[in-house]
A and B are shown apart, each in its own frame.
Chain A
Amino acid sequence: MPATDEDIVRDLLHRYTDHVRSPASIATEVALRQRSHDRRRRVVSVAAAGAAIGTAAGLVAVAPGHSSPPPGGTRPAIRLTADQRVLYHLSSAAAGQPQGQGRYAVMSTEGDDVKDTSVINSRTGSMWSYQQGSDGSPSGKSFSPHYSPTSAQFAAMPTSPGALRAVLIARWNQQTRPARRPLRPSGPTPVPRPLTVSDNDKVFQQASDLLWNPLVSPALRAALYKVLAAVPGVTVTTSAHDSIGRPAVEISRADSSGLPGGKPDGVSYATYESPATGAVLESSVTYPPGSDIVTPQDPHGTRTVVDMTVYLTVTWASAIPADPYGS
């Protein structure tokens, strides 16, 4: 029998919770959600998706004489092509934008008919995501520590195109090292073999993965467009619109990574930019029929967009805003 007040409290607290049992389903659900989250990040961020899932792609057709980067990597051509001029225009537009003020970047997005509001801490890179419920599903929220580089880390990146290109390649190599393990070792997908990924693939994937990030400074964003201008195979469409009808410059590139000796699979990465500000309006990854990621049962048509995000707004705040969806 408890003797002291402390013992009584101790006994009471333990007896009070004797009945509590942890449902195993919670841990299982959390683990599944985390794996899904990791997989999605890989698909969006780098070619790791291709490496992990084992998709095949061959060398993309590039302009004659541009099959390898010129000495020095990113030295822009003396005479700019029309596409390069557009990218340099975007670079100027981005450089003229003000740096966001506030500790938290608040970004609302939409994809797969689901609306998200993401809050990124510029000092830690941690991200809170609030997701609006749809089709009867409840709203949800998640927290991803160190999701993004911090503002300081972005600020430390070089803004000269040549140096930045080298950093992007190194970043790709670093990020994809652990992701080369297959995510689905069994099943209908072929056993993945080491992929050949060109430096130009790496640079485009990394640049398009950074452009959307609101923590990227105007100077770095401007430099990224200049880097893209020197990547062979980049297609620029000035009269495009994003999925919700906003005028946009579409920058896309068919990825050339793939199995050694394999033919191009046509996996295409695209970003849509605001011609006025250089801000990213939308990003997407598209797989054509025949790609390993598109199963024979896939109900989609000739091309399958496996990931699309529409960037609606970016604002800045000094405190974490409340969940706009009330989850």
Chain B
Amino acid sequence: MDKRQTRAFEEFAAESGAELLRIATLLTPDPHAAEDVYQETLQRLAARWSRVDNPKAFCRRVMHNIVIDQMRARARRPRELRLFDTGERIDPRSADPHRSVELWPSLRAALDSLTVQQRTVLVLRYFDDRSEAEVAELLGISAGAVKSTASRAIAHLREHPGLAALFTPTDSLL
């Protein structure tokens, strides 16, 4: 990687880094792990920078592969105790940023309770705004499986104590 390539690489990271790190944050169980995933992804990109046509697509694919590998490795180890599960019943539809901060533990716990595939599908479909076909291709599963997985994942979130109010119909709050 020469100076010109280094500059282009850093420009790419400046432009797309936040979005990639946000995806990593949603995919991994804690912020430190997310930063590790992001860093490993950039490392892999740097190693083949001159040969990658679409760096952002490459990073997304690599990031998901890393997370899935980590999840599999973690599944072979004893399960760690969850530190929080607040079950707060607040109105999370508030646009108040402080409200969204209060939501973090609940959403984190809810995301942690999903399977790797459910979580990945949710992030790809509803954060990355990819079509079912694109998600299917990326994960190597059928479009039907993407649809059913997303549906089950959302149903799971609806049932989570900390998020249930979020999905409650508006008229029932009145």
Contacts and interface: CB of A to CB of B under 8 A. Distances in A.
Contact of B47 (A27, A28, A143): A143
A28 B9 CA distance: 9
B103 A12 contact: yes
B55 to A, nearest CB: 12
B122 A13 contact: yes
A5 B158 contact: yes
A8 interface: yes
A174 interface: no
A27 B93 contact: no
Contact of B127 (A10, A24, A181): A10
A24 B126 contact: no
Interface string A8-41: 1110111111101110101110110111011000
B122 A142 contact: no
Nearest to B17: A22
Interface stretch (B36-44, B79-87, B138-146): B36-44
How many B residues are at the interface, by size bracket? 35 or more
A34 B46 contact: yes
B13 A20 contact: no
A22 B10 CA distance: 12
Interface in B1-15: 1-2, 6, 9-10, 13-14
Contacts, number: 108
A2 interface: yes
A112 interface: no
Contacts of B166: 8, 12
B122 A26 contact: no
Nearest to A10: B126
A6 B47 CA distance: 37
Interface in B42-66: 42-44, 46-49
Contact of B13 (A15, A27, A183): A27
A145 interface: yes
B109 interface: no
Nearest to A12: B107
Nearest to B15: A22
A17 B22 contact: yes
B22 A20 contact: yes
A196 B28 CA distance: 53
Contacts of B13: 22, 24, 26-27, 30
A29 to B, nearest CB: 8
Contacts of B35: 26
Interface string A108-146: 000000000000000000000000000000000011111
Contacts of A34: 1, 43, 46-47, 49
Nearest to B101: A19
Contacts of B157: 9
Nearest to B48: A145
Interface of A: 1-2, 5-6, 8-10, 12-18, 20-22, 24, 26-28, 30-31, 33-35, 37-38, 142-146, 181, 183
Interface of B: 1-2, 6, 9-10, 13-14, 17-18, 20-22, 25-26, 35, 38-40, 42-44, 46-49, 92-93, 97, 100, 103-104, 107, 122-123, 125-127, 129, 154, 157-158, 163, 166-167
Given A12-B163, A145-B47, 19 more contacts: A9-B122, A9-B154, A10-B129, A12-B103, A13-B26, A15-B103, A16-B26, A21-B21, A22-B14, A24-B17, A27-B17, A30-B42, A33-B46, A34-B1, A35-B1, A35-B6, A38-B1, A142-B43, A144-B47
